């Protein structure tokens, strides 16, 4: 892949525990392959404990926190899934504000699987078309979004592009669409 993200820094916002590892690592690698600089942002410093579904997987060093960093430091945002990850993030006001500011600023945001829960909490899905893990369908509709069952959906209706996918099986399409959105 060409260096389409040269000089671009992409935030990966994840809770210290509960992130689906493959939904963190595959987009991370895609950003690196495209010449971008991924940075792991969390609600506390230290290490992130990733999961393979319900089993503990690897740990990753957290680069910065929502307490000290803001969206102005980044060119795009990835919200990995895992059930516990967005469920925790949506209870942390600084994390929700980080996502809201990112989305309303017009910068591209990419969210996979259960990650749209954080978008719902940030109140940024109204009038937009998204996909997600199927169990979020009602939550997204109740928040004013249109839910579709698609491998990847890029919604340009709103301040900035919003890239969403349903599950790990969709990662190839998700990564490609996210890198394309971040490159613009």
CA 152/CA 112 separation, integer angstroms: 9
CA 94/CA 68 separation, integer angstroms: 10
Give, as one character, the DSSP assignment of residue 164. E
Residue 13, judged by CB atoms within 10 A of its CB (0-12, 13-18, 19+), counts as buried
Catalytic residue among 92, 96, 109, 113: 113
CA 51/CA 17 separation, integer angstroms: 8
Is-contact 50 60, C-beta < 8 A?
yes
CA 146/CA 102 separation, integer angstroms: 21
Strand partners, 50: 19
- Would you call 113 a catalytic residue per the annotation? yes
Which candidate, 44, 6, 52, 178, places its Cα nearest to that of 108?
178
List residues with catalytic annotation: 113
């Amino acid at each position: 892949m060409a260096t389409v993200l040269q000089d671009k820094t992409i935030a990966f916002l994840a809770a210290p525990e509960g992130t689906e590892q493959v939904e963190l690592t595959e987009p991370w690698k895609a950003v690196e392959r495209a010449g971008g600089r991924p940075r792991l942002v969390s609600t506390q410093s230290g290490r992130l404990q990733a999961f393979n579904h319900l089993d503990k997987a690897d740990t990753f060093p957290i680069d910065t926190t929502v307490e000290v960093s803001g969206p102005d430091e980044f060119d795009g945002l990835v919200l990995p899934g895992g059930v516990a990850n967005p469920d925790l993030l949506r209870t942390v006001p600084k994390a929700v504000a980080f996502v809201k500011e990112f989305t309303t600023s017009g910068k591209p945001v990419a969210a996979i699987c259960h990650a749209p829960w954080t978008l719902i909490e940030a109140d940024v899905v109204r009038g937009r078309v998204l996909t997600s893990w199927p169990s979020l369908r009602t939550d997204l509709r109740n928040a004013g979004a249109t839910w579709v069952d698609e491998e990847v959906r890029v919604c340009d209706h709103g301040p900035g592009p919003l890239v969403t996918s349903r599950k790990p099986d969709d990662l190839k399409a998700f990564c490609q669409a996210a890198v394309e959105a971040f490159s613009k």
